[in-house]
Structure formats: structure tokens, C-alpha cells
Chains A and B, each alone.
Chain A
């Protein structure tokens, strides 16, 4: 089945710095790549996603880039703020054969002011 590797497991930055989290996947047929954010004590929620027909997608201070040849996608957060502190998960979604939604192990981002 699909395998998702996420790095780093923890990331500490100063407010205003940029943060980058990377995920690699194994299924070359994957065509949808989401990122979820989980604040302490809350449920995971989608923050951005990208499909395989584009290489980059931006939404204000967050962006996702995709390299299908290398089978990795990355989350970029610019001008980090304390409210960005959370656990971030990448995921490999189900394919048409009926596989499951598999998450990376998560990255705990800490933004200090």
C-alpha cells in the first residue's frame, strides 16, 4: 500500500521566519496531496491541497509544492506567527482501487515570539 514519510518531526522557528515540511510518497498513481493542521486538543483540518496537474499552489502565507518525478510534496509557511504553532500532517489519499487515507507521522511546529 501507500507509504508516506514526513520530515522533520519537530520544527522550531522564530516569529517571522519561514518553515518548510516535506513529505515523500510511494504510489506514483497518487494525484491529490493534502496538508492538515491540528491545533492542541482539536481535530485535524485541511489547510491546503494540490492536484498533480499543477506544481505549486498558494493561499496567503502558506503554499504547497509538488515534485511528481521525485515523489515528494512540501508545505511552506512564510512570515510565521505564534498561531501557526500546531501539528501538521501530510496525507496520501485513497485511489480509485479503494485504498485508505494514510497520514504522515506529523510535524510539531513551534513558533516563538
Chain B
């Protein structure tokens, strides 16, 4: 049972490049989330989804897009990467009012 899997684990981008982070869960969770974690800033919500085909903005959505075409996958896209998007990104999934399970994180550096 894999739980929540994020790919890639590490990535270095040049300013202006694009990339997609993939989150996959095998627990049949309805809710999926993308967070970014910066020193001293906690876990800030970027976008989330409450079911297949749905997405919603979180606290810091600018510069990111998401899609949830299949229940088990939640994709996070950066269309034109900026140095301010250098961060550690975590995906998570859960049932409402139940434990959330996190992926192992993606360390992204934009130069």
C-alpha cells in the first residue's frame, strides 16, 4: 500500500520554465491538497480538490494551476516558474474530518 506518492522528489528549474508535479494516492480519498512550505511560514495551502473534476483556490494560488481528472491523481502546474516559487511542496489526501496523509515532498529550486 503506497499511500501518497509525489513525483519528482527534487527539481531545479530556470526562471520562466514550466513543470508539473504529480500526486497519486491509493486510499480512495475524496480530498486532495497541495501545500508549500517555506522556513517560518508553516504549510500554506495552494489549491485543493474535494472530488474528481473539482478544484478550488487556497491561500497562495497565484502562479499555480491544478487539475483533478482522476480521483487518485492531483496535478500541480507551474506555467512560468519564478524564484519566489522555490520551496518544498507537499501533497496530501484525506477523507473529511479524518487523518490526512502526506507525500514525501518535492524540493523545487528556481534559479
**A26 sits at the interface (CB 8 A):** no
A91 to B92, CA, bound (A): 13
A93 touches which one: B35, B40, B96, B105 (CB < 8 A)? B96
Known contacts A32-B97, A43-B90, A45-B102: does B48 contact A100 (CB below 8 Å)?
A: yes
* A105 / chain B contacts, CB cutoff of 8 Å: 41-42
Tell me the minimal C-beta distance from B3 to chain A in angstroms: 10
Chain A interface, number of residues (Cβ within 8 angstroms): 25
A81-113 vs B, Cβ < 8 Å mask (1 yes, 0 no): 000000001010111101011111110000000
Chain B positions within 8 Å of A34 at CB level = 99-100
Min CB–CB distance B10 → chain A (angstroms): 13
- A31 in contact (CB, < 8 A): yes
Q: Which residues from A are CB-within-8-Å of B59?
A: 102
Chain A contacts for B90, CB-based, 8 A: 43-44
Contact indicator A96/B96 (Cβ below 8 Å): yes
Q: B12 at interface (Cβ–Cβ under 8 A)?
A: no
Which residues of B are at the interface with A, using a C-beta cutoff of 8 A? 31, 33, 35, 40-43, 45, 48, 50, 56, 58-59, 90, 92, 94, 96-100, 102-105
